[in-house]
Each structure stands twice: as structure tokens, then as C-alpha cells.
Chains A and B, each alone.
Chain A
Amino acid sequence: MRKDRQQLPDVDLSSNRLAMAQEQAELIKALLCNAPHPQGFDSERLQEASLALVRKRIRCIQRANPLVEAICPADNDSILMQLHRFVRENPTPHPRGPYFDSLDFLAYVGLKSAAKPKIQDNWKSSLVNKLRSFRRN
């Protein structure tokens, strides 16, 4: 074991984690949910970072679904504002990725997609993996 690793104190870090969780939650809410900026930050910089993050998420949604891109031309301020609102109200992207995020957005603006994919059951995927691994062995 390395010398500097031996110097690591074997302590309970739960209080460190609690303080860290609180400061990180405040920051993430300020950036993604329009919550008040935590004390001490450069407000202008946080505002700029927040806009950049929202734009990045919107771009992911647009790329994932041509229908969203089609109804969101760059000059359509109304739809773009709805996209901004959707992202602010749903700060966590869909866990299954940007395509599902785009379907949620279409539902948000009152459009339903006929092509909602059927989610493969986990047990099926697991069985396929096991069979493939068996074949490789």
C-alpha cells in the first residue's frame, strides 16, 4: 500500500456527506430549476451556466427526435419557450435517454407520438445476455 494512502484517516464521513449533499443540491436547483442562487456565487456566471445547460438538454431532445426538430424551427419562439419551460419543470432527463425525453416533451405540448417504443423487459434482456455469454464460452 502506498504511503500517502496509509495516511487516509479511517473516519466516518457521513457528516461530510451531509454538508456536501446540501451544498450540491442548492447549486443543482439553482442551475436547473430556477431556484435562488446560493450565497457567494457570481450570479451572472451561474445564470449563464444555467442557460447553457438548458440549451444543451434542448439540443439533445431535438437531435433525438426529428418531430421535435420539425416543430421547433429556430425562429419559433413560442415552441422554444415551451421547451425551456419543459426543461425547467423536468430537470431530470428521462432515464431511458433523450428519445424518451422528446416523447415526454411532445406530450407536454399536447402532441402524442404514435411510435412510443415498447420497453424490453429486463428479464428478456438478461436471458439474451446469458445465452450470448454461454455461446461465447
Chain B
Amino acid sequence: MEVAAAVDAVADVVAKLMNNCMNHQIIENNKSQAASAETQLGIGFRPELARFIEQQENIQFVEIVADDFMHIDCIPQALRDLQKRGVTIIPHSLSLSVGGAEHVSPQRIKHLSSLAKYFDSPFVSDHIAFVRAGNIESGHLLPVRRTQSNLAVVCENIESVKAGLSVPLVLENIACTFDWPGNEMDEATFITAILERTDTRLLLDLSNLFANSHNLAFSAIDYLMSLPLERLEYVHMAGGIFKKGLYHDSHCHSLKEQSLQLLTTLKTICQVPRVMLERDDSFPPIADLISELEAIANA
């Protein structure tokens, strides 16, 4: 009897231990699920913001303008330090021109790929736009006429970019104050077709979406609802200004409430993996930048 009692007692202890272990595992699993459901906070790296970014411990990723670092030896120490700290660095290109009539330059693809390799980036991004035509390099992101014929060209361009990259390509919607005549589909349909045909992911710029919905008079919510949000990789937020009834996505004015409201709505519809602030000029006091980052994080 004594032996049997002792065995029971040991069995109880083992059961309790196992139970504790399982509970611990469940807690750990929940923790990791919560962590994976968290939205990472980021910011566009600009030399003027390097010191500020270095001081923000809640910044988990930065986006760099790939065209600003044409040689690997020009990469500033500040970026290398961020990388050492575990901050993810995402190369963001302005010049692939996947929405252009020309084939995408293999050199540009190679450059983007080499930056991704250097920083061990999880993906790279560019825009659904064209930047050059008629031997003119505009330096600006311009919209593509949304026709089936142009859609086929854009998809072919994107496939050629993907073939030259070792990481996924993520594509962004642009802001515009005018639209093409003779569009065969709306912007959300065009973007959806591109992402699904080329199996690419989405960089959703909510400030660009607000700008276009205001300037071209469509519903931003309808647009959001018709996007393939399961492809959402990250979100851009930037400030802008109203001029003569049009909204200009300037990246050098304060963040607008309308963009933040769209972010709040988006978070109710889907999981947002990453969201970041873009500021390119007229840099505000640090307190203002911090409050904009907080507004994005808490939207």
C-alpha cells in the first residue's frame, strides 16, 4: 500500500509538472501569437532624421530610398548601426518604372537586389507608376492609364523585376491630382489585377488613397474593401496640404486626420503587419514627430 501511495504521489507531482509545462506552453503560444499580430512601427530613413531615429527604441523598421544609395560604400554608419540593433531595413525604389512602356532596366533591378542582400531585407518595394517616357526622366511618379493593354505590359515588367530579385517585390499605389481619360477600370480593380496576376504583395499608402479619393471623388472605403488585403505587407502614412481644393501629398506637412481615420478603419478590416511615417522636408520639432508616430501606432 505504501508503495502504491508513493507511486500515486509521484504520479500527481508529474501530472502537476506536466500541467504547468502545458499551461506555460499555451501562454507562450498566446504571447507569440499576440506578438505576431502586433503592427510593427517604422519610418522613412532620411539623413536629417538619422539622430531622431537612432533615439526611438520603438522603431522596428526603416525604409530607405534605394535611389539615394547607388553605391554600397555610400551607406551611412547610422544605417549600419540600426541594422546591428535589429531594425529591419527595407529598400524602396522610385525608379523601376514598372508602369512604363520601356522594359525595366536590368541595372536598376540588380541594384535593388544588391541592397536587399546587403541589408538582409525581407522584401523590396516600388510603385505602380511610370517615371520616364519620350526620353524624359521625370523624377516623379506618374499614373498609368488603366486599360487591359497597359495592364499586360505592367505585369510583364513586374515579372521581369521579380525574376531579378531574391526577395519578394511589394507594390505601392501612388497619389495623383488628375486622371487619364479612357480608363477601362477603377484604380482598385487595376491594382488588384496586377497583384493577383503577378502574385505580388501590397504597400498601401493610405495618404495617397485619401488624396486620390478627395481629388478624384471616389469612396476610399469602397476602394479599401475591394483590395486584396490578404496581400498587405505594409502601410505608408504621410502628411500633405490642401491647395485650391486639391489635396497634395507633399510629405512635408503634418499628418491629416483623414489618413489616420483610414488607418483605424483598415485595422478593423485586416491585420496590418507594418505601418510607417514618411517625412521628406520641412522637418518639424521632435515632439511633433513623436506624436505623429504615436498617432499611427495607436490608430
Contacts and interface: CB of A to CB of B under 8 A. Distances in A.
Interface of A: 2, 4-5, 7-9, 11, 13, 16-21, 23-29, 31-33, 39-42, 45-46, 48-49, 52-53, 56-57, 59-60, 63, 91-93, 95, 125, 128-129, 132
The dominant DSSP class at the A interface is helix
A53 B248 CA distance: 11
Interface of B: 71-73, 100-102, 130, 132-140, 142, 144-145, 149-150, 152-153, 155-156, 176-182, 196-199, 244, 246, 248, 281
B281 A28 contact: no
A53 B150 contact: no
Contacts of B72: 129, 132
Given A13-B152, A16-B153, A92-B136, A125 B177 contact: no
Contacts of A92: 135-139
Given A5-B198, A125-B71, A32 B136 contact: yes
B142 A28 contact: yes
A40 B197 contact: no
Contacts of B134: 21, 24-26, 28-29
A21 B101 contact: yes
B133 A27 contact: yes
A46 B279 CA distance: 25
12 contacts: A19-B149, A24-B130, A24-B133, A45-B177, A52-B177, A60-B139, A91-B138, A92-B135, A92-B139, A93-B139, A125-B73, A129-B71
Given A19-B149, A52-B177, 9 more contacts: A5-B197, A16-B149, A20-B153, A26-B134, A28-B134, A28-B142, A48-B178, A60-B139, A128-B73
A48 B101 contact: no
B84 to A, nearest CB: 14
B155 A21 contact: no
Nearest to A19: B149
Contacts of A13: 152-153, 156
